[in-house]
A and B are shown apart, each in its own frame.
Chain A
C-alpha cells in the first residue's frame, strides 16, 4: 500500500509571533521555521505503518516556496521514501492546497493520504476534509488511533465528548491529532541518507490548478492585551478579591 503524506512548513510552534506594524501579517523574516507538529505526527504514523509491513511506500508532498524542500528533507530523514515539492511562492489557501493534492493523488494513486488536522499558523483545520470531499473518499479526522485491516481502516477520532470509532473504506483521507503517536527524531546517518533520496519538483501550472486566493486578508492585528494583574499574598486575599473586586464568586 502506498501512503501519501502532506506536510507544511510553518513558524516553529514555540515562537511567539509578532504582528507586523503595517498590519499586513506576522513577521516571518529571520524567524525559526519547522515542520508543522501535526504533520510530524502524520509522517511518523506513515513510517510506523511501513515498519508494520502495512505500507510499502511513503511519498511526502508539500506545496510552498523553495525553502519547503528543507521540510521535505526532514520527512525523508524520518523515513519517507521520496518527496514531491509543488513550488509556489505565494501563500496558498486550504482549498487550493486540497486541489493540488488531489492532482498529486491522481498521479500517485495512494491508498491513504495522511495529513495533520491543522497547521499551527493559519489554524484552519480544513485541508484534509476538503481533499476527501474533492476525491469523494471517506475521511477520518482528528485521529488518535489508526488500524488498517484489508480494504478498510478502523480509526478512533477525538470528539468533543470523548472518542468515536469509525470504519472507513479504502482509499481514505486521514488527519492526525496530537495523541496519535510520539514522533521520532531523525538520526544523523538518516539525515545524510535523506540527501540522496529522490525529490521531484512540480509546478502549480503542471498540476493545472487555479490557486488564486478567494479570501482577502484585510488586516492582521495583535489581540487586545490583558491589563497587568496582581499577585496576592494569601488565599483569603484571593477569595476577597474574587468576591468583592472581580465579583465572580
Chain B
C-alpha cells in the first residue's frame, strides 16, 4: 500500500486514495485530499458534514445512509454535491477518513 507524505504527516492509503486506518485521520488529511476532490477551501459546511460522518461512524461502525446525512446536517443531496463534487461517498467519506464504500457501487 502506498504511503502519502503531506506537511510532515504520513498517511497509508489504497489505490483509490482512501485512508487505510480511520485512526490515522488528522485535520491535515482533509487539506491533503481536498485538491483531488475538487474543493478549494474547507468551509464550515464542509466541516459540519465531515464531523457528522466521523461521529456517526464512531458511534455506529457504519457510514450513514444518504438520507440520514441529509436529515441530520440539513443539507439536501444537491447541496452535498455542491460541497463535495464527487458525492457523499467518494468525496465526503474519503475526507472524513471512513472506509471505502463497498457493494455494487
Q: Do A and B come from one complex?
A: no
Interface residues of B (CB under 8 A from A): none
